[in-house]
Structure 1
């Protein structure tokens, strides 16, 4: 079987060989639609750029790529810092692929494994950046670890927390303080983590005998501005909530800003709980009660699992679930009757 070359990729993608070369060397000057066609063709035919030669099959690059949806998010930054620390210990460099949820960018960064530019991928997404079929197995994928969002493919190495249980703990804390009208501001609802946190919210209410009220749930997108906007909507209800469960610290920061603008005090008027325990949470006024995610341990375990795959060592536990706990601070208080 002949090795695929640029001409085969060009024919399969319907572009010129020169366009294929530009896509590989300077992807930023090629349109998103063209990049998508070329990267899909590369995946299908298994093309490896000639400039790296046959040595790519036997040598390692000494680099990995972390593919993330938003490099500015403090949650992602905390994990990345830990990954870089662990990588440096074994002489690896870390490339950051900030995709802004653009699937074309995701596939571009993932293709760096095939071209030999990196040895493996740490992925912050529930979507594999490769074309798969029901027959696809883990052995057909490059070294890859998924962090925080589960992938629906048996055998993929993953590092997770139990978002359902964590959300229940957060809401139960508010219930223990006497709150019954508890608003929820979600993250992106196309992610498993957000759906799991909403499930945990509903379960906590049900177990406490509190009827679920859909009017108290407002969708956000994990950004500060969405927390502010969603809180303004909840405050406009005829009977406002007495507490807010925010699906991220960023959302909680936006919520607290909206409450301040409305002349309401946290926690005297409304209690607020966040999720993640990013480095800013303890320095808010008041300090934010939040679900502590072990960001350092997430990064450490991601890097360990990826190195084991790169070095072809046996892996006894491919899915690691890390503990998460409530960090109680001053943004929550007993409901004042």
Structure 2
């Protein structure tokens, strides 16, 4: 089996130069880089990840924690992170919490024991419990995505959920709707609170009253949202439009509405939130609020890498701006 010394000898360079080429830790001219790569390929050299991590005191591995990978929203964010990991030569260890606080603590302990270079966290349980994830470990650079306050220092990248909820509701109002309901996410989750607050602001500015019979709470998933809509339906008169606070719930609402003999958007207009990829392929295609999930993942990776490389001590807070995507699930009444 070839060693790094064999590669260096064949390429007629030092072992440190080979190391810099393979690890991208210093600029090496294109000519020498090509010579080293050719020697690596010819000799079928495979670097030892363990030896490298011991020498450089890093593992070129990031840990990522998400509430669930089933929701397409999380999958698209993870895709953005994975792409940047591949481009920058990093490994990714992905863990799901499934909403279980003990599983969250176990996964964080496991990732830190594996000496990951940094953490990317997208889990509401961190906010609800307000825990210090580093109480038993040496702190590592961390980026929290799409979340609220935490009990530890971290960079944050968040969607402007308040503005997104406002835009969604304002669009319904501008489309001529005055009887507007809302199926919101769990009231203890910061994202859900902010989207609903945006809904309230738009209704207040338009001098429209909020009928609490048309407001139901769900858990950001299809099945529970379908149940929430059926509860709303049973109360009597329906609104003409509903702001559903994520696309997964919007899918559940549309399915439930169809099962009750309602036509979307002729009988009921629906606007969602997130713009997951399948939203455009629903029937009807879903008008929704877009937040760039792939770019959220890419930016989270780049922010974490910047913190590691620059040894930046200050924490950043980056806010991504949502935009409206107009499709076919909202009827114009004007």
TM score, norm. by length of structure 1: 0.77
Deviation at 1:311, TM superposition (A): 2.7
Q: 1:216 to 1:131 in 2, by over 3 A?
A: closer
Deviations 1:75-125 (A, max 9, x none): 000000000000111111111111111112111221234323422111113
Structure 2 residue 98 is matched with structure 1 residue 104: no
Q: 1:131 to 1:154 in 2, by over 3 A?
A: closer
The CA distance in 1 between the partners of 2:120 and 2:308, in whole Å, is 12
Structure 1 match to 2:91: 93
Residue correspondence of structure 1 range 239-278 to structure 2 within 5 A? 239-278=237-276
Contact 2:131 2:152 survives alignment (8 Å): no
Of 219, 222, 229, which aligns to 2:220?
222
Residue correspondence of structure 1 range 37-116 to structure 2 within 5 A? 59-116=57-114
The CA distance in 2 between the partners of 1:279 and 1:176, in whole Å, is 26
Deviations 1:187-238 (A, max 9, x none): 1222100001111111111100011222211011011111211111121122
Contact 2:97 2:123 survives alignment (8 Å): no
Structure 2 match to 1:299: 297
Structure 1 match to 2:10: none
Structure 2 match to 1:147: 145
Q: Secondary structure at the match of 2:272?
A: strand
Deviations 1:3-28 (A, max 9, x none): xxxxxxxxxxxxxxxxxxxxxxxxxx
**Which consecutive unaligned segments of at least 5 residues does structure 1 have?**
1-51
Structure 2 residue 155 is matched with structure 1 residue 157: yes
Alignment length, in residue pairs? Answer: 281
Structure 2 match to 1:183: 181
Deviation at 1:131, TM superposition (A): 4.6
Contact 1:308 1:315 survives alignment (8 Å): no
Deviations 1:38-66 (A, max 9, x none): xxxxxxxxxxxxxx99x769521221111
The CA distance in 1 between the partners of 2:130 and 2:114, in whole Å, is 16
Contact 1:189 1:195 survives alignment (8 Å): yes
Deviation at 1:246, TM superposition (A): 0.6
Structure 2 match to 1:289: 287
Contact 1:235 1:241 survives alignment (8 Å): no
**Which consecutive unaligned segments of at least 5 residues does structure 2 have?**
1-49
Structure 2 residue 320 is matched with structure 1 residue 327: no
Which entry has the higher C-alpha Rg, 1 or 2? 2
Contact 1:112 1:118 survives alignment (8 Å): no
TM score, norm. by length of structure 2: 0.78
The CA distance in 2 between the partners of 1:102 and 1:244, in whole Å, is 30
Q: 1:56 to 1:216 in 2, by over 3 A?
A: farther
Contact 2:130 2:150 survives alignment (8 Å): no
Deviation at 1:180, TM superposition (A): 1.6
CA RMSD in angstroms, aligned pairs only: 2.6
Q: 1:58 to 1:109 in 2, by over 3 A?
A: farther
